[in-house]
Amino acid sequence: MEHHNELQRTIDNLVSPRKGLLAADESHPTIAKRFAAIDLEPTEENRRAYRSLLLTTPGINEFISGVILFEETVGQLNSAGDPLVHVLETQGIVPGVKVDKGKGPLPNAPGDMITHGLDGLEDRLDRYREQGIRFAKWREVYPISDQNPTSLGLEANAEVLARYAAACQQAGIVPIVEPEVLRDGTHDMGRCEAVHEAVLESVFRALRRHGVTLEHMLLKPAMITPGEGHDASATPEEVAEATLRLLTRCVPAAVPGVNFLSGGQTPVEATRNLNALNVGAGNVPWRLSFSYGRALQEPVLNAWKGRELNAEVAQQAFLLRAGLNSAACEGAYSSVMEA
């Protein structure tokens, strides 16, 4: 296979022990909401300053193996005039980028969504590769209701994920496949697990159909939890048990890593649940790690507040949260480490 060695090198770097991914790929509307919580205008300069703060945190390469960037960030510079992609490379951190163009309703499947962006993807991947990008991410979302996801929703979303992944590998870029089952709703854990199983079965069927090399991709799923509106919560041990059962049923051993999304969990919840997964994992064939956005960044934003004088304490908050999730990757996290 063309690019085999390059793809393998990228995978080896991304699945390094005790390391995970930072998802810093928020769209303009999403980062505007994050900035609104700290009364900061979502200007291009503020977005650049914030993401530069994250990527230049000293010592972060001890815990972070790769960063998923928003397309805007790929072309931006830090305050010293260095490209942010180069800033990551000099730390041994693999630069990645989100390549989807956002979601919209799926026709003839009320309640289901589909993600756009396949048109022109090959050209964009070639351009990103020239800029130093070595992996990509594409997110499909699956709402849970009594009717959703429909069979059409399952198959259509899986087809898009597989076409994206195949295009990435053809360009020498490792694809992260993200089929996110949303937490919105009142469903229980059993319903969440059943939907996840249907989603992953359809996704891996499509990946095989399109000839995607499973050894050169990463999976980014949600954990099995009750819906946010459900009247009962789940312990980390319950989340781990259900999630590991799902992975064992649905994820081929050839996939080298599963990097969970935080999916609305608080920073502490996301770390505790990841830790429980690794405590209970035994001899699973995949490296279980994180690809967190808000669960890594929320304490950073609260410390930074858009002020340069807060930069150092904000970076310390980022380093602490990343280190806690690094410990969780080995099942070595303890709540006393939060202090």
46 contacts 2 by C-beta, under 8 angstroms: no
Is residue 260 classed as helix, strand or coil in its secondary structure? strand
Q: So which residues are the catalytic ones?
A: 178, 220
Q: What is the DSSP string of 67-123?
A: EEE-HHHHT-B-TTS-BHHHHHHHTTPEEEEE----EEEPTTSTT-EEE---TTHHH
Instruction: Count CB-CB contacts under 10 A for residue 130.
Output: 8
CA gap 285, 278 in Å, rounded: 12
CA gap 166, 173 in Å, rounded: 10
CA distances to 81, 118, 162 from 61, in Å: 21, 32, 30
Length of the chain: 339
CA gap 129, 311 in Å, rounded: 31
